[in-house]
Amino acid sequence: MSVLRIEGSTDYVNDVLRQLFQGHDVEACVESGHVTFPNHPGLWANGELFRSYERIVQLDVRLGGFDGDRVLIESIAGFGPDLDAQASFAVQAFANGSFHVLLPAFFGRPPCHGTEREIWKIGSPRAVYAGLITSVFGYPPAKADGTPNLDFYPAFIKRLETCSLSQGTHWVRIYQMRHEGAVPSNEVLLDNVPWEEMQAFMGEHSWPLTDRHYDVRVFLVIKDVG
């Protein structure tokens, strides 16, 4: 799939990011194509929109300056009948699922809007900032007792705790879609790169069968404890 940069979208996205951060008590300003943070020297963010299909845009948000030249990239789809609706959808999805993870993980803000800070043992104790499990097309069908069937997530955590991750900061994005046993999407990224071991694990997971599409997405940041 080829994507085309939408001209002028950087200014729009950067201003949205500035407003989001300032709305959560993080001073922010836009300078030379980047959002900068006077109280967090070195950190920067920016973003832009790309056209992937007629009714879909891709929002890319980047965060850098936390560890040398490493850059965290979050890509989120936006759906709608026109560009304004698509951009609004993508921004809202970013705010719901990813933005509130960045705030405590990189800016020292208290967890909010469903984001949690937990200690998981991944080789050694690590601080994990996990966002909400979100969905575009609907969650997996409920279990017989009516509770949500999100069993993939504790299974993922259990498997993650057997993995060997280097010290330092890491970020993980999971996006899974299922339909009648088919796998339209099986994505697990570690530090922006497909995590083949975890994608295979998610592919082998026993997902509920149904005749409708469903999907789940979750974003998390892993940091050293200290």
Domain shared by 20 and 94, yes or no: yes
Domain shared by 146 and 201, yes or no: yes
Of the three residues 48, 74, 104, the one that is the final residue of a domain is 104
Domain shared by 130 and 94, yes or no: no
Domain shared by 153 and 211, yes or no: yes
64 Cβ contact list (under 8 Å, min separation 6): 43, 44, 45, 70, 71, 72
Domain shared by 129 and 89, yes or no: no
Domain shared by 120 and 100, yes or no: no
Q: Which domain holds residue 140?
A: 116-224
Q: Is the pLDDT of residue 1 over 80?
A: no
Domain shared by 159 and 197, yes or no: yes
Query: What are 134-169's pLDDT values in tens digits?
Result: 999 999 999 999 988 999 999 999 999 999 899 999
- Give the pLDDT of residue 2: 72
Greatest C-alpha distance within the chain: 54
Sheet containing strand 193-194, edge to edge, reads 116-122, 124-130, 214-224, 170-179, 182-190, 193-194
- Give the pLDDT of residue 151: 97
Quickly tell me which residue has 């996990």 as its tokens: 130
Domain shared by 82 and 142, yes or no: no
Number of domains within the chain: 2
Domain shared by 212 and 141, yes or no: yes
Using an 8 Å Cβ cutoff, are 79 and 88 in contact? no
Q: Is the pLDDT of residue 216 over 70?
A: yes
Structure tokens belonging to residue 166: 């280097």
Domain shared by 121 and 203, yes or no: yes
Q: Is the pLDDT of residue 3 over 90?
A: no
- At residue 226 the predicted structure's pLDDT band, cuts being 50, 70 and 90, is confident
89 lies in some domain:
yes
Q: What is the mean pLDDT of residues 195-224?
A: 96
111 lies in some domain:
no
